[in-house]
């Protein structure tokens, strides 16, 4: 009976189990772009050019390593800190800057605060702010893919704090029961705003929680692109082979604040930060590449310049785009605007016409 | 046409939808082998298999969250929440996710989830098997909220819900599941959303109700007819989208209005109706608008017969409104 509905797209090209040095170099290119964009966005927020920003410094290797192990037809259910996943999947810098500004070129029509983007054409689902809700969505989508017979996996991203949420438990429990092709990718960045990992749960690791749902949980060094890639590729292979879900705990550190509204000096020490800065994934990956002889300092400088130039030129276009049309407030609440909402739209437009409201 | 109870009509609608569209599937607690605690899904798993009528773990947030993922992927999930009283663990999923997906993605991700759930009192269900909390959901932009009162509408509105493009909360009056029977069209019967039904015409006073409050409101209208008071009864059927035109037309004719619902009064759906009448029909009104509702208390077990609006209370308010001014 299911055959009546067309299957989505082609079977994704399978990903190799290991990342070679050329692929590592390519991963590093993305990581440089991510870091350059992160730094630029923090500045833009301070300058009042974007409203808010959620930085991800320290988590680039984990995200790029994970995203590179996925196929284009796999579905990603992110939280709000997944810039490196978005860029790895090919989301253009300009599309992201349009979203941060909330201009008329933003594919989300200026509806969401920065970082809560999503792009159907990249199978990158729009995030929300409540933590963990996306976890059971990934499981439901995996159940739907199973039903359609589509050979894909769903991958969901979340942090250490989210392992305390209702939906973490509900989602992993459903995934175990229905043996869904899902990869649960937890970036344990050690801090959920001000709460340290050890106050979040008394479990020895976060990965161990998978045991109670009946599937494997693995811990991986999230500063090591290749190790993360290997863990995700293995989990994805298991899922495609019908062996069910995997929980991956990538151990990382959030080098910056939770968001531009946060001051981490209130809750953690400079000493701890310094220890983790020594494991900055950008520096570690660069060192691996220099040692392997596939990157020189000159290449590296050129990569940074290229990344900064790409961001500047995208920003110029994004800032030139006109603001969102006021009337769009009323679109996409429903497929069609119902009569009572249409009456509010007319009232709103009259206020604009009469100059009571100024756009 | 077949004579069915309301719960049988729900079952026939689900059967018809599943038979005609392989993307429709059902998930919820005890919906499969057991056929649902009210038997709304009886026989469906046997016919369509356990992959389309899915018995889930006991987690409302899991049920609705999984349904969201299915809907984003392109299926048409119909989730059952065993009682409306148990929906609150899924409140975040419904309010933050289901209702907002289309909007927050700029239209990229419609989220067509249908959530069916029995609501309301009159079955000796006490605090946690009796609630009528439609207001929480009607207040949330992006959700359609539908309440049938009879078997034909239950089937027709549920088939419209499953075919709709938007998320729908479908509230089934559990006390009417077997108590209300009626002729139901066979096959693909649809009742449009946003279309109230005048179930009894009248000239002196309008009574607005929905779901399980329709039968006592109609009985009250019949009783008052014997006293020479002509009551028009309007079954709203669809709270969101609301058929404001039918509401206003009725009050423009009668000049008097009584609103009946079993939910608590304060900020209940009647408050919105009364506000609409104040904004748009004030000059037609000859008497204050009255509400006959549950009280602003939790739902009582032993005294539910006094808590719920009944024929006597409804008649009392209709009479007072008809004679006021």
List the domains of chain B with CATH numbers: 2-184 (3.40.50.970), 197-323 (3.40.50.920)
Residue in A294, A278, A277, A241 with CA at minimum distance from that of residue A19: A294
pLDDT of residue A17: 83
For chain A positions 135-174, those within 8 Å of chain B (CB to CB) are: 135-145, 147-148, 154, 166-167, 169-171, 173-174
- Give span(s): CATH 3.40.50.970, chain A: 2-324
Rounded CA-CA distance B68/A135 in Å is 11
Which pLDDT score is estimated for A14?
67
Q: Which residue has the tokens 């599309």?
A: A95
Q: Which residue is closest to A182 within chain B, CA to CA?
A: B69
Find chain A residues with C-beta within 8 A of B106's C-beta. Answer: 106-109, 111, 332
Q: What are phi and psi of B121, to 5 degrees?
A: -100, -165
Per-residue pLDDT 10s for chain B (325 aa) are 999 999 999 999 999 999 999 999 999 999 999 999 999 999 999 999 999 999 999 999 999 999 999 999 999 999 999 999 999 999 999 999 999 999 999 999 999 999 999 999 999 999 999 999 999 999 999 999 999 999 999 999 999 999 999 999 999 999 999 999 999 999 999 999 999 999 999 999 999 999 999 999 999 999 999 999 999 999 999 999 999 999 999 999 999 999 999 999 999 999 999 999 999 999 999 999 999 999 999 999 999 999 999 999 999 999 999 999 8
Size of interface A-B (CB pairs under 8 A): 161
Q: Which of residues 173-192 of A touch B (CB under 8 A)?
A: 173-174, 177
CATH architecture assignment, domain A2-324: 3-Layer(aba) Sandwich (3.40)
pLDDT score at A15: 76
pLDDT tens digits in sequence order for chain A, 359 residues long? 333 333 333 334 567 888 989 999 999 999 999 999 999 999 999 999 999 999 999 999 999 999 999 999 999 999 999 999 999 999 999 999 999 999 999 999 999 999 999 999 999 999 999 999 999 999 999 999 999 999 999 999 999 999 999 999 999 999 999 999 999 999 999 999 999 999 999 999 999 999 999 999 999 999 999 999 999 999 999 999 999 999 999 999 999 999 999 999 999 999 999 999 999 999 999 999 999 999 999 999 999 999 999 999 999 999 999 999 999 999 999 999 999 999 999 999 999 999 999 98
Q: Which of A76, A86, A95, A110 is nearest to A30 (CA)?
A: A86
Of B194, B323, B300, B181, the residue nearest B247 (C-alpha) = B194
Say if residues A41 and A55 touch (Cβ distance below 8 Å): yes
Distance CA B20, CA B190 (A): 14
DSSP label at A208? G
B47 touching chain A per CB within 8 A:
no
Burial class (CB in 10 A: 0-12, 13-18, 19+), B76: buried
Rounded to 5, what percent of chain A is helix, strand, coil?
50, 10, 40
Tell me how far the alpha carbon of residue B11 is from its chain's centroid: 16
pTM of the predicted model, to two decimals? 0.96
Q: What angle do CA A69, A73, A78 make, to 5 degrees?
A: 70
Q: Angle at which helices A281-292 and A60-68 pack, to 10 degrees?
A: 60
Q: Are strands A75-77 and A154-159 parallel, antiparallel or unpaired?
A: parallel
Q: Enter the ipTM.
A: 0.96
- The answer to whether B106 contacts A111, with C-beta atoms less than 8 Å apart, is yes
């Amino acid at each position: 009976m299911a055959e009546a509905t067309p299957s989505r797209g082609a079977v994704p090209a399978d990903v190799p189990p290991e990342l070679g040095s050329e692929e590592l170099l390519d991963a590093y290119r993305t990581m440089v772009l991510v870091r350059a964009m992160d730094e630029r966005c923090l500045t833009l927020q301070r300058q009042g050019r974007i409203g808010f920003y959620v930085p991800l410094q320290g988590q680039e290797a984990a995200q790029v390593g994970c995203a590179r192990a996925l196929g284009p037809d796999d579905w990603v259910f992110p939280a709000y800190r997944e810039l490196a996943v978005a860029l790895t999947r090919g989301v253009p810098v300009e599309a992201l800057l349009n979203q941060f500004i909330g201009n008329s070129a933003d594919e989300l029509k200026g509806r969401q605060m920065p970082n809560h983007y999503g792009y159907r054409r990249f199978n990158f689902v729009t995030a929300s702010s409540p933590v963990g809700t996306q976890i059971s969505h990934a499981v439901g989508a995996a159940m739907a893919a199973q039903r359609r017979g589509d050979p894909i996996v769903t991958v969901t991203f979340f942090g250490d704090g989210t392992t305390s949420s209702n939906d973490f438990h509900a989602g992993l429990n459903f995934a175990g029961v229905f043996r869904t092709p899902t990869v649960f990718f937890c970036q344990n960045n050690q801090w959920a705003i001000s709460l340290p990992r050890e106050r979040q749960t008394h479990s020895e690791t976060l990965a161990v929680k998978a045991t109670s749902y009946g599937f494997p949980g693995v811990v991986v060094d999230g500063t090591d692109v290749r190790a993360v890639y290997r863990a995700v590729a293995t989990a994805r292979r298991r899922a495609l082979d019908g062996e069910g879900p995997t929980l991956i705990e990538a151990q990382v550190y959030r080098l910056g604040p939770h968001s531009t509204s946060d001051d981490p000096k209130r809750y953690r020490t400079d000493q701890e930060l310094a220890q983790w800065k020594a494991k900055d994934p950008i520096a570690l990956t660069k060192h691996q590449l220099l040692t392997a002889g596939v990157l020189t300092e000159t290449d590296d400088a050129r990569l940074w310049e290229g990344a900064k130039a790409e961001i500047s030129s995208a920003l110029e276009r994004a800032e030139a785009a006109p603001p969102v049309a006021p009337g769009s407030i009323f679109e996409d609440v429903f497929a069609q605007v119902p009569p009572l909402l249409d009456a509010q739209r007319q009232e709103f437009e009259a206020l604009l016409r009469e100059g009571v409201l100024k756009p | 046409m077949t004579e069915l109870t309301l719960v049988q009509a729900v079952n026939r609608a689900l059967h018809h939808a599943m038979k005609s569209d392989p993307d429709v599937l059902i998930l919820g607690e005890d919906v499969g082998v057991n056929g649902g605690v009210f038997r709304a899904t009886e026989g469906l798993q046997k016919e369509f298999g356990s992959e389309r009528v899915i018995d889930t773990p006991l987690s409302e947030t899991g049920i609705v969250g999984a349904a969201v993922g299915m809907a984003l992927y392109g299926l048409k999930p119909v989730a059952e929440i065993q009682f409306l009283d148990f929906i609150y663990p899924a409140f975040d999923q419904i309010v933050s996710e289901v209702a907002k997906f289309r909007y927050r993605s700029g239209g990229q991700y419609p989220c067509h989830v249908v959530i069916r759930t029995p609501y309301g009192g009159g079955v000796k269900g006490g605090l946690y098997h009796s609630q009528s909390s439609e207001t929480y959901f009607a207040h949330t932009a992006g959700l359609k909220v539908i309440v049938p009162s009879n078997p034909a509408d239950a089937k027709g509105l549920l088939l419209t819900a499953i075919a709709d493009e938007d998320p729908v909360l479908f509230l089934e009056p559990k006390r009417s599941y077997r108590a209300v029977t009626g002729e139901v069209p066979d096959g693909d019967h649809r009742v449009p959303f946003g279309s109230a039904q005048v179930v009894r015409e009248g000239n002196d006073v309008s009574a607005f109700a929905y779901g399980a409050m329709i039968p006592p409101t109609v009985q009250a209208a019949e009783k008052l007819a014997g006293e020479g008071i002509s009551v028009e009864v309007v079954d709203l059927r669809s709270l969101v989208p609301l058929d404001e035109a039918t509401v206003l037309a009725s009050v423009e004719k009668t000049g008097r209005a009584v609103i009946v619902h079993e939910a608590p009064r304060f900020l209940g759906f009647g408050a919105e109706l009364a506000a609409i009448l104040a904004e748009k029909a004030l000059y037609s009104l000859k008497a204050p608008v009255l509400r006959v509702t549950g009280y602003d208390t939790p739902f009582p077990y032993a005294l539910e017969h006094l808590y719920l609006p009944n024929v006597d209370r409804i008649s009392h308010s209709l009479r007072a409104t008809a004679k006021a001014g």
